[in-house]
């Protein structure tokens, strides 16, 4: 996955309301982040698949960051 997409994702996580990130189950969290990401920056199917996989792998880190806010 390219660095620009990674920066955009982590910026989105950082700007998001902690309660939004913590209140959702894993599938809901992935869906919400994907939807928010694609509203701001449309991506192709390959990038969509890569981003979905990446978010799923980073769920514990995303939740840890949300708890710190």
At residue 19, the pLDDT reads 86
Number of CB atoms found within 10 A of residue 36's CB: 16
One pLDDT digit (tens) per residue for the chain, 69 residues:
789 999 999 999 999 988 888 999 999 999 999 999 999 888 999 999 999 999 999 999 999 999 987
pTM, whole model, 2 decimals?
0.90
The torsion region of residue 43 among left (phi > 0), alpha (psi -120 to 50) and beta comes to beta
At residue 22, the pLDDT reads 92
Domain that holds residue 15: 3-68
Q: How many domains does the chain have?
A: 1
| Distance separating alpha carbons of residues 37 and 10, to the nearest angstrom | 10
At residue 20, the pLDDT reads 83
């Amino acid at each position: 996955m390219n660095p620009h997409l990674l920066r955009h994702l982590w910026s989105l996580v950082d700007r998001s309301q902690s309660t939004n990130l913590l209140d959702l189950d894993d599938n809901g969290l992935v869906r919400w982040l994907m939807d928010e990401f694609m509203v701001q920056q449309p991506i192709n199917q390959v990038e969509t698949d890569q981003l979905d996989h990446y978010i799923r792998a980073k769920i514990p880190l995303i939740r840890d960051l949300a708890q710190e806010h």
